[in-house]
Structure 1
Amino acid sequence: MTTPDHQSPASAPVVPAARDRIYRSPMGLVGGVLLLALVVWLGCDALFRGHGRVPWLALAVMILVVPLVTAFTLRPAVFANQERLRVRNPFRVILLPWGELATLRSGYSNEALATSGTKFQLWAIPVSLRARKRAANKRAKAAAQAARGGSGPFAGPRFGMFGGDASVPDVSAGRARAETDKVMDDLRDLHERHGEAEHAQGEITTRWAYEILVPALAGAVLLAILLVTG
């Protein structure tokens, strides 16, 4: 009896998909939940206790406002793995393979710049100038302490968790950096390691968030009709 010299596709081992790293804004999530709770509370109160046109106006406002609050607070997220960067912004989802990414920029906002020159803002990773200022002050203090030879109230031969002299704070490892800048460093590292890989090539695709746009548009139309006919 002969045996086949090749393996059928059905019996080939399944390669698991790369696991995503997910980046979101904690303050955005907290703020979104609080805003939604306030909108629903006030809207339901007007909906069930209002008279005349008030319930209809409350319904229209809720249909308009709830998707918009969700879009700008709960929805934004960045998903990254070895193959691509997926950016979920308020009204669009951008799938950006690492091979099509030119660079990641951090200024007053964090952005992904494609090789074609197209710029995509990363809504889920907002820039905090205040956090950057605090991190810069920490680095300056650490540099001044290092220049003095580690003198200060905690100077002396100490050892860190993994050994080594811990008398001077370690800022070279990026500890004295704003959290969003650390996230951008992680994304840059993924881009550098996988940008030239075969599995990280492809085309940039974008999709509009119709699940947000359609309800918001319906609420705006209903609210406009109520205001015009009132």
Structure 2
Amino acid sequence: MTSPTPPSEPTYADRTFRSPAGLVGGALLLLLICWIGGDAAFRGEGRVPWLALAGLLTVIPLVVAFTLRPVVFAGERRIRIRNPFRTITLPWTEVADVRAGYSSELFTQDGTKYQLWAVPVSLRQRKKVARQQSRQSMDDPYRRTSVTADVRDTKARVAAADQAVVDLRELSERAGDKPVEGDPVTSVRWAYEVIAPAVVGAVLLIVLGALG
């Protein structure tokens, strides 16, 4: 008689952090670039179509890299940071801190710093939140419930980037600092699928410009 198979450990889907404004802005910018570049490529004369195609090959990967590509995947045992030109994978045991100053940054145990492009810091949003907190404190100087404050809207008091940093810290603390057998290793991979087309397009632009 065979023994029953022990249940596998539960798995948890990665939490995703990215900038909605970056996604919308990137999509609109790509539409504008494709419209202008495509029009020049189809209707241009002489070297204009080639210049347009080389320009598209250069600009489109860069726009994608800085707007659509950045994302942070935070799972139970690791964090994966996809920046414009690199993808960094770290186990939580290697993460020392996550901070949001003028930009969102992750620090490893050995002092290495990685910027979180997917979590942009908005100083304007911070000032707005600070003004809201100031008005609420004036409404309720003795820290009682204000008649104008919405007590259900707790996250409205924290800027989006700061809330993302708080969530990432909680995930890091939940994972603990003791390595477990089978933990993912730290890896850094360059995004050649973005870099190569942009470099080729730039070289073509230089060659076409030199040919006059």
Normalising to structure 1: TM-score of the pair? 0.83
* Aligned pairs, number: 211
1:141-181 deviation per Cα after TM superposition (whole angstroms, max 9, x unaligned) = 22222215759xx73xxxxxxxxxxx755499554111111
Quote the residue 1:214 is aligned against. Answer: 196
- Superposed, 1:44-193 pairs within 5 Å as 44-147=38-141, 155=147, 169-170=150-151, 173-193=154-174
CA contact (8 A) 2:78 2:184 kept: no
Q: CA RMSD of the aligned region, Å? A: 2.4
Quote the residue 2:32 is aligned against. Answer: 38
> Which runs of 5 or more residues in structure 2 are unaligned?
none
> Which runs of 5 or more residues in structure 1 are unaligned?
156-166
CA contact (8 A) 1:63 1:219 kept: yes
Letter in 2 for 1:108: Y
3-state DSSP of counterpart to 1:56: helix
CA contact (8 A) 1:142 1:171 kept: no
CA contact (8 A) 2:22 2:67 kept: yes
CA contact (8 A) 1:100 1:203 kept: no
Letter in 2 for 1:223: L
CA contact (8 A) 1:101 1:195 kept: no
Q: CA deviation at 1:203?
A: 2.9
Letter in 1 for 2:18: R
3-state DSSP of counterpart to 1:203: coil
Q: CA deviation at 1:15?
A: 4.7
CA contact (8 A) 2:100 2:161 kept: no
3-state DSSP of counterpart to 1:79: strand
Give the Cα–Cα distance (whole angstroms) in 2 for the partners of residues 81 and 124 of structure 1: 16
